[in-house]
Amino acid sequence: MPHSSLGQLLLTGVPGPVLDAETAATFRRLQPGGFILFGRNIQTPAQLRKLIDDLRELSAVEPIITIDQEGGRVSRLKLVGNEPPNANNLRDKGDLDLIRRHGAITGRLLRMFGFNLDLCPVLDISFDDDADNSLRGRCYGNDVAEVVRNAGAFNDALQGEGVLTCGKHFPGYSRAPLDAHHELPVIALSRAELEAHELAVFRAFAKKVDSMMIGHAFYPSLESTQTPSSLSRAVITDLLRSEQGFAGLVMTDDLDMGAILNHYGLEETIRLAITAGNDLAMICHRVNMVEEAHGHLQKVARPELDRALENVARFKAKMVPPDAWDEAEFRRRDAEVWELRVDVLGAEAAAQRSPEDGKRSPVELY
């Protein structure tokens, strides 16, 4: 197996808005499978497109270029344009045509920059709209049927525009008592309770989304040892792959979150992530650790590496090239976001900007 091919199993963040020579050389040598962009990477529309073009240029294999463009506060592109309504806003409006419009507009906007994967829809159920677990405003429904209907409409429309999708956060994160960005939550629900709610949603999307993101939480009813779901073979290979029949790309949530960092070293994290059944290990913020992570991949069993590499290649075969860059066309597509915002929120509410609008959050949610 060529040394550089192992980089295909890494989804890495990028340090800033411009690709510096040292980072470019590292990426060219390691050949990461994909890149995830955040607010720190976005200054102007043209700058963002150039950054993505530069990442594609240094990649021998077409890279996954992804972002969290959900709506509301998890809308990275609001730094250079309008903020779409969030999933709760769309849920409360109760109009599937608006949700489909949101998916289609999002897809067209992402294609303009060169993104080929959007890390959504969120498939978590909102049991409590005010819960403090990072999901506030991000869920498409309060029960299984509502999430399946609404998230399904968004997912289909996004795919219809040539952007691949990702269901998150398997196996269901919304009843976490705390935020995995800081510490590992324990979700002490019975298997029957999970099957009736969280797992029922993911089962419905097993053949609809192109990829799945595994959240960081410990589920005693799913895993006998206190292993986070994102590093658990019982959760990923046995439950998601074998029982639910998911055949697409599987990725960890960010391995730089406190839920993982506080308990595992990088070598163990990478080994567990791939042997559990993930195809991509995501390192969003400690970009200087990507080279070390690449070295640790060489210690993973060959059959696990081959399986993951095959899944990444199969996923990439579905990716669609970006649209040609045109600043005026970007403005037209961004105007569609504003029109949707008005139609969902009303003109008065749409015009009100929250204190966070246009600012980079200290902790960017995903």
Q: How far apart are CA 138 and CA 119, in angstroms?
A: 12
354 in any annotated domain: no
User: How many Å separate Cα 106 from the centre of its chain?
Assistant: 14
- Local confidence band at 151 (pLDDT 50, 70, 90 cut-offs): very high
- Local confidence band at 357 (pLDDT 50, 70, 90 cut-offs): very low
47 in any annotated domain: yes
- Local confidence band at 153 (pLDDT 50, 70, 90 cut-offs): very high
Q: What is residue 364's predicted lDDT score, i.e. its pLDDT?
A: 56
pLDDT reading at 359 higher than 50: no
Q: Are 345 and 85 in contact (CB under 8 A)?
A: yes
| Percent of the chain whose pLDDT exceeds 90 | 80
209 in any annotated domain: yes
Region 213-233 average pLDDT: 94
- Range with lowest mean pLDDT among 7-21, 57-71, 176-190, 300-314: 176-190
CA-atom Rg of the chain in angstroms: 19
Dihedral sign for Cα atoms in the order 84, 88, 92, 95: positive
361 in any annotated domain: no
| Burial classification of residue 233, based on how many CB atoms lie within 10 Å of its CB (0-12 exposed, 13-18 middle, 19 or more buried) | middle
Single-letter code of the amino acid located at 106:
T
- Range with lowest mean pLDDT among 110-119, 280-289, 313-322: 280-289
Q: What is residue 285's predicted lDDT score, i.e. its pLDDT?
A: 86
pLDDT reading at 358 higher than 70: no
269 in any annotated domain: yes
15 in any annotated domain: yes
Count of helix runs (H) and strand runs (E) in the chain? 14, 10
pLDDT reading at 356 higher than 90: no
Q: How far apart are CA 174 and CA 292, in angstroms?
A: 33
Q: Which domain holds residue 34?
A: 8-342
Cis peptide before 169 (omega within 30 of 0): yes
pLDDT tens, position by position, 64-96: 999 999 999 999 999 999 999 999 999 999 999
The CATH number given to whatever domain includes residue 200 is 3.20.20.300
Region 31-54 average pLDDT: 97
- DSSP-derived 3-state class of residue 361: coil
Q: What is residue 184's predicted lDDT score, i.e. its pLDDT?
A: 82
| Percent of the chain whose pLDDT exceeds 70 | 94
Q: How far apart are CA 236 and CA 251, in angstroms?
A: 10
Q: What is the DSSP string of 184-226?
A: --B----HHHHHHTHHHHHHHTTTT-SEEEE---B-TTT-SSS
106 in any annotated domain: yes
Structural domain count, the chain: 1
- DSSP-derived 3-state class of residue 168: strand
358 in any annotated domain: no
pLDDT reading at 261 higher than 90: no
Look at the chain and count its residues.
366
- Range with lowest mean pLDDT among 59-73, 184-198, 259-273: 259-273
Region 126-144 average pLDDT: 89
Average pLDDT of the chain, as a whole number: 92
Region 41-49 average pLDDT: 98
More confident call, 337 vs 256: 337
Cis peptide before 171 (omega within 30 of 0): yes
